[in-house]
Structure 1
């Protein structure tokens, strides 16, 4: 009874009344292998060299846009160098400040997660507590308010965020499978209640990596894809998928059920392998034409004539930049390491955005 009352109170504070809903500006649609925004293919009529760009969705991994740490023992790790303390609202403010610049370079999408990603880039242990869900799968208002601000700005800019729900190392914050299912339902209903039509859903990041809950693992994750797809409002439902670890080819249960397919290029240092992953994905049993999107790849070489970004493009797959602050690097490096400099000030960030602009014809 107490849990039910708590759930109602949380929904009261995170879900708007119908009168409070804003007018939305951006709608995403999938037709075959292409993405459309407001009825037009992305990067309309764009070609680069011999490659077709129209219909792709170039993106970057920006998962920490609503990050916080509810563990008092670890929160000091994320202090800003200029203030000596962590500030979740500052992090979101600065994220929003830079979104238009990303968009002007041709970035149409970014991945943002309700449980973030490793704020250290890669880490086996995750003692910090970063989750927009409480243990019962109810939404935490402060996280959702930050997310709302980012999604509102994306809607204004004509961008299509991929909203991820779960991250390994944090999924155990939910007490059981019932809580996971409740979380998927609550998050999807929240997106509907806000009226977003510019959002894609990623159930979880790298479903084949260290998830505690069986329903988030490869054999059953399609159940959550189908759950999110089944939740409609006014005849509209969200496009839903999940991802796997670097170099992994999606399994038939996800290929058959997902609306678009997510690949990761981590660990794939040969660009030729990136192209072959796309071909192998299209050959999986149950595949029908749908977009293939890399939304995580920590390989760069943006000054070279052949790199992972270009290889994905050559195979007509969208590509996503993943960058973290490596050992002894400065604050300006990396978009996953907290605290984050959301600007374009490092050489890697500049390299990515310049190549992105060249390929997509950005401003």
Structure 2
């Protein structure tokens, strides 16, 4: 029997008839009705092509069931910080940092005609949704991801797959699910599947998903910074992505969506590790989604609240909602990230500076053995930055003796964090 029943009232979310977060004594009324969330897209991930390549990060073999079980075990901790939803993909997402050709991964539960669904995936999905239900969390189930959806043989297969997946959700009588039909359906990588890429056809698929699931809330995201009124009108939840957007651009996007007068919840379910964006989300009373490639999208993921970016995100949720936590010592507001023992592949490390309040940081200089290597002016503060969610790795050698991040704060102070190797 379901414990968590999602509801929608205008732009607000309800759980079991009450605005989210309103059950927390002392919570901020401005947070009530929001759905702060994270991208846990690989929650039921497997690779039928070469699973052995994901035997890494301290694990001798890759075990899909363990990956899901580890996520389930982490959910209560996230819930206590205020996380109320997460996105999981039936076809996962891209291992951005470690796999060059994502189409070489076979993480697809659907048959080519879309009529059948892998029972092992269904079992993991069911276990995950029911675990979330038990503790009061909502699961945004994303049906399609471009690098796996290209395995569908034609447009009919896509329609079949929508009915197949949503039929499973309906059969299991979930009440804590929001359906995302496709992840960033408008980006160029979908060009081989116009049945998904075009707003008109996506609007049809949204209706098909709603009908096939028995009326579950539906939506579909576009690429970072993109919005579409036709799709928003066809959605129950307006899903947006804010990858590579400034805070001003993110605010402008929310303002534009609201100008359409649709009166529906606006949920960003993918951004980046840029937790400074949460200030915009809480001020506009919209829901925001944390996306960390390194700890949460490289299988097998580190699903818990890890030190640095994850912990700072969790604390900012709690602060925005009004959940009291023991204060974090000021010295712990900055963390030189990327030197964790297990998060390395082929001597590659992804070095960055995490901050609890990145808005207070002017810029960060990175030094290797006392020599300036790079400067980061924008959050997330990463060396060899490309976007807000992608950076090039540093290839470690025996010459790497010490790394230092010199943090120049807006108030004139300079903070240093070092790691000796």
- TM-score normalised by structure 1 residue count: 0.83
Deviation at 1:324, TM superposition (A): 1.1
Alignment of structure 1 residues 162-311 onto 2, 5 Å: 162-209=140-187, 210-211=189-190, 212-219=192-199, 220-231=201-212, 233=214, 237-249=215-227, 251-268=228-245, 270-284=246-260, 287-300=261-274, 302=275, 307-311=276-280
Where in structure 1 are there 5+ consecutive unaligned residues?
1-22, 326-333
Alignment of structure 1 residues 17-36 onto 2, 5 Å: 23-36=1-14
Separation in 1, partners of 2:27, 2:7: 26
Contact 1:106-1:356 within 8 A present in 2 as well: yes
Separation in 2, partners of 1:121, 1:171: 21
Residue by residue, what CA displacement relative to the aligned partner does 1:114-147 show, whole Å, maximum 9, x if unpaired?
0000123597731111112121212111011000
Which segment is superposed worse, 219-228 or 44-53?
A: 44-53
Contact 2:44-2:68 within 8 A present in 1 as well: yes
Which segment is superposed worse, 119-128 or 100-109?
A: 119-128
Separation in 1, partners of 2:54, 2:236: 36
Separation in 1, partners of 2:25, 2:208: 37
SS of residue paired to 1:161:
strand
Which has the larger Rg?
2
Aligned partner of 1:69 in structure 2 is: 47
Please identify runs of 4+ aligned residues in structure 1 that moved more than 4 A: 45-51, 121-124
SS of residue paired to 1:173:
coil
Alignment of structure 1 residues 74-153 onto 2, 5 Å: 75-120=51-96, 125-126=101-102, 127-137=104-114, 138-153=116-131
Deviation at 1:83, TM superposition (A): 3.4
Aligned partner of 1:40 in structure 2 is: 18
- Higher relative contact order structure (alpha carbons within 8 Å, sequence separation ≥ 6): 1
Decide whether aligned partners of structure 1 residues 86 and 275 sit closer, same or farther in structure 2, where only a CA change above 3 A counts.
Answer: same
Separation in 2, partners of 1:117, 1:260: 21
Separation in 2, partners of 1:323, 1:228: 28
Contact 1:51-1:313 within 8 A present in 2 as well: no
Decide whether aligned partners of structure 1 residues 278 and 167 sit closer, same or farther in structure 2, where only a CA change above 3 A counts.
Answer: same
SS of residue paired to 1:112:
strand
Deviation at 1:311, TM superposition (A): 0.8
Contact 1:46-1:52 within 8 A present in 2 as well: no
Task: Count residues with an aligned counterpart.
Answer: 319
Residue by residue, what CA displacement relative to the aligned partner does 1:216-272 show, whole Å, maximum 9, x if unpaired?
113221110011112364xxx1000000111112x122121100111111111x212
Where in structure 2 are there 5+ consecutive unaligned residues?
325-421
Decide whether aligned partners of structure 1 residues 156 and 45 sit closer, same or farther in structure 2, where only a CA change above 3 A counts.
Answer: closer
Aligned partner of 2:303 in structure 1 is: 342
Deviation at 1:47, TM superposition (A): 11
Aligned partner of 1:7 in structure 2 is: none
Contact 2:28-2:322 within 8 A present in 1 as well: no
Decide whether aligned partners of structure 1 residues 124 and 214 sit closer, same or farther in structure 2, where only a CA change above 3 A counts.
Answer: farther
- TM-score normalised by structure 2 residue count: 0.72
Separation in 1, partners of 2:196, 2:128: 26
Specify which structure has the higher proportion of strand. Answer: 2
SS of residue paired to 1:169:
helix
**How large is the Cα RMSD of the aligned pairs?**
2.0
Decide whether aligned partners of structure 1 residues 165 and 121 sit closer, same or farther in structure 2, where only a CA change above 3 A counts.
Answer: farther
